[in-house]
Amino acid sequence: MRKNIVAGNWKMNKTLQEGVTLAKDLNEALKGKTLNCDVIIGTPFIHLASVAGVVDKNKIGVAAQNCADKVSGAYTGEVSAAMVASTGATYVILGHSERRAYYHETPEILKEKVRLALDNGLTPIFCVGEVLEERESGNHFEVVKGQIRASLFDLSSEDFAKIVLAYEPVWAIGTGKTATADQAQE
């Protein structure tokens, strides 16, 4: 069943102190409110434990912006799904267009990241989306289906139900074009 989610990805912004302050401010803003959606904040790795320690877990979920495709080992700079889970984060963003483009994350890598996230009790927020040329050629449905098939097709129905699919209209990033609600709903 589809549910409403409002997620904010901080990307590579905010110092640790700024991040904790923002999380506390969000707590205050949501205090006493009944929400009709899930609220998730995606913080840089350095913020995860601190932010997870101050948010109201009944109102705000904390997401890592990535995790490694390895369990452990000599992978300088990588952070495993188990490490992410140990911070108190409950979500991890995977398949983001920037990670696919800048770090050449393949479907095989993403498949392994999803598996490790699930194995460690994290909820993957799996990003899918198409670039402008794919949208304009009318091929966008096939592109998105292909991304899902390539990285998530082998999951059991139980595991697939644990995935949050996030549509990311890559074609609307920095182009001056805006995705309409109907386009996102497609």
pLDDT tens-digit series, residues 162-186: 999 999 998 888 778 888 888 888 8
Per-residue pLDDT at 39 exceeds 80: yes
Select which of 104, 134, 168, 186 is catalytic: 168
Asked if pLDDT for residue 159 goes beyond 90, the answer is: yes
Joined tokens for residue 29: 């803003």
pLDDT reported for residue 184: 81
Q: Torsions phi, psi of 43, nearest 5?
A: -105, 160
Q: Which of 47, 96, 130, 140 is catalytic?
A: 96
Segment 3-18 shows an average pLDDT of: 94
Per mean pLDDT, which range of 27-31, 96-100, 177-181 is the poorest? Answer: 177-181
Report pLDDT digits (tens) over 132-151.
899 989 999 999 999 999 99
Decide if 105 is catalytic.
Answer: no
What is the pTM (predicted TM-score) of this model? Answer: 0.93
Phi and psi torsions of 14, nearest 5°: 80, 130
* Residue 12 confidence (pLDDT) above 90: yes
State the fold for domain 67-186. TIM Barrel (3.20.20)
Q: What is the dihedral of CA 128, 133, 135, 141, to 10 degrees?
A: -60
User: With 90 as the cut, is the pLDDT of residue 45 above it?
Assistant: yes
Residues in the chain: 186
In this prediction, what percent of the chain has a pLDDT beyond 70? 99
Bridge partner residues of 166 (DSSP): 127
Asked if residue 1 has pLDDT above 70, the reply is: no
pLDDT higher than threshold 90 for residue 2: no
Domains in the chain: boundaries: 1-65, 67-186
* Closest CA relative to residue 151, chosen from 121, 115, 120, 117: 115
Q: Does 168 qualify as catalytic in the annotation?
A: yes
Q: What is the mean pLDDT of residues 61-87?
A: 98
